Amino acid sequence: MDGVPTPAAPEPHRESKVWWRSIYLTSPVVMLIAVAPYTRLSLRLYQALRELGVHDSLWQISGVGTFFIQVGLLVVIVLFWEQRPFASFGVHPPKLIDLRWGIAAFIIIEVGDIFWSASTLPPVGVESARTQLATWAAQSEPWKILLAISASFFEESYFRGYMIERVEEITGSMALGAILSTAVDLYLHSVYWDTSFVISIAFSEFSLALLYLWRRSVTSCVIAHFLMDALP
């Protein structure tokens, strides 16, 4: 039935007979592609260019382009290097149930975030996180939607789909896949946002990992993530 979630079982670990197609080689390469543009070194470059008068909008445009290039590289690596199907990192034809679960997850996460921030952050931390969120929300609607689309496809494809699946294949542990993928995703946010904001989104990031483990579908996670970013 379409209304009943039927998460696909992870495929058994089978290494390719061609050594260079091994996920032991491709997985670190994929993670390097995911993380490299968001190191603290790039942040210092960003700050230096800002001092020289480069407008922030230029960085936003380049950021959106980087997201789409990274997703494109991931698709190329999976299909042509690993020679595996889209389903091997949680990409399936979208279904109506994905929309339902994405919206439901968005509502649950938004409510949970309120209690999470209140219980983990002091009042000054909550206020700091809200201030940073307000900065994001103040952008123009078309631009905010474009950023939300690109960021949701990037983060969910890499950290919920690919990383969880490959870590689980290599180690046999779903929990380790969810924990490591969430940790790496939070690190990327820590480069541009302060500690209070990173703590405030930890609940939502781990919830998205749980949603992926429940549905084994990137689509539901993309929908929930998009709503979280577009409707802060």
Q: What is the mean pLDDT of residues 154-174?
A: 96
- The answer to whether 195 and 71 have CB atoms below 8 angstroms apart is no
Give residue 127's pLDDT: 78
Which amino acid is residue 156, in one-letter code?
Answer: E
pLDDT tens digit sequence for 18-48: 778 899 999 999 999 999 887 766 666 666 6
pLDDT category of residue 92 using cuts at 50, 70 and 90: very high
pLDDT tens digit sequence for 101-130: 999 999 999 999 989 988 888 887 777 777
Instruction: Supply the pTM of this predicted model.
Output: 0.83
Using DSSP's 3-state secondary structure scheme, residue 219 falls into helix
Q: How high is the mean pLDDT of the chain?
A: 85
Compute, in degrees rounded to 10, the torsion defined by CA atoms 228, 6, 88, 172.
100
Ordered by start, the domain boundaries in the chain are 19-230
Among 6-20, 30-44, 199-213, the range scoring the smallest mean pLDDT is 6-20
pLDDT category of residue 195 using cuts at 50, 70 and 90: confident
